[in-house]
Amino acid sequence: MSTALVTGATAGIGLSFVHQLAERGHDIVLVARDRARLENVSDELQATYGVGTEILVADLSDRAETGKVAERLADQARPVDLLVNNAGYSLKGRFLDNAIESEEAVFDVLARTVMVLSHAAANAMRERGHGAIVNVSSVASFIASGTYSAAKSFVTVFTEGLASELKGSGVTATALCPGFTHTEFHDRAKLDMSSIPDFMWLDSDRLVRDALDDVAKGKVVSVPGPQYKAIVTALRVIPRPIVRANAASAHRPGRRRKS
């Protein structure tokens, strides 16, 4: 039986990942900050799917705690076959209006943690000759809208480079780039998303099913939903000054684009 480690495992896309992976027979290592929520999810997975679970309580904005997760990924005595770097959050204000300490913390979670955990997992997996890494990025990585967009751009490009480095090793790396998805993310960040039309929203369970299919195919960039596939295709060819202008007009104080 294989083992998957999922960060941000107690809500949203991460919770969909752990349920679908457990349903497929994977044991699950659950990583998040809230022990009570981790224990609830762990109990549910064991009762529903009969899989083994392990809890790692970690604040991924803290380098020492991130290091503990990296050590777990590097442990060849307890191999992790699939890493899902999903943990993340967004700040409500614009970059220049936020405290730099807050911006540093969110960057550590969105970008630095992905790099550190991918390094640990990829080296361990490459030594064994198999494995997969999923780094949850965003359609926002193709635009230019604040530090969230910038951090997700790092995740997408970093994953593309990692996939090239791992080619032929038996290990794959996939950047998952969803658009707006129904989760508690926006409520927790106190973001007003009322202007987003219904057709732009994705279902997290369907998103994860499609993503796991893409991982099985070895796809490097996975964009769920036909609407977002079309958007990303356009963003790859539209001149960047136009992309920047549209992002600037959409980015207003008190609201943050998120995917």
In this structure, how many other beta carbons lie within 10 angstroms of the beta carbon of residue 193?
Answer: 17
Rounded Cα distance between 120 and 41, Å, is 25
28 by Cβ neighbours in 10 Å (0-12 / 13-18 / 19+) ranks as buried
The radius of gyration of the chain from alpha carbons, rounded to an integer in Å, stands at: 18
In this structure, how many other beta carbons lie within 10 angstroms of the beta carbon of residue 180?
Answer: 22
Q: At what angle do helices 204-216 and 12-23 cross, to 10 degrees?
A: 60
Rounded Cα distance between 5 and 121, Å, is 10
Q: At what angle do helices 100-107 and 146-166 cross, to 10 degrees?
A: 30
Catalytic residues: 148
- Residue 195's φ and ψ, nearest 5 degrees, are -85, -5
Q: At what angle do helices 113-128 and 146-166 cross, to 10 degrees?
A: 10
Name residue 253's amino acid.
P
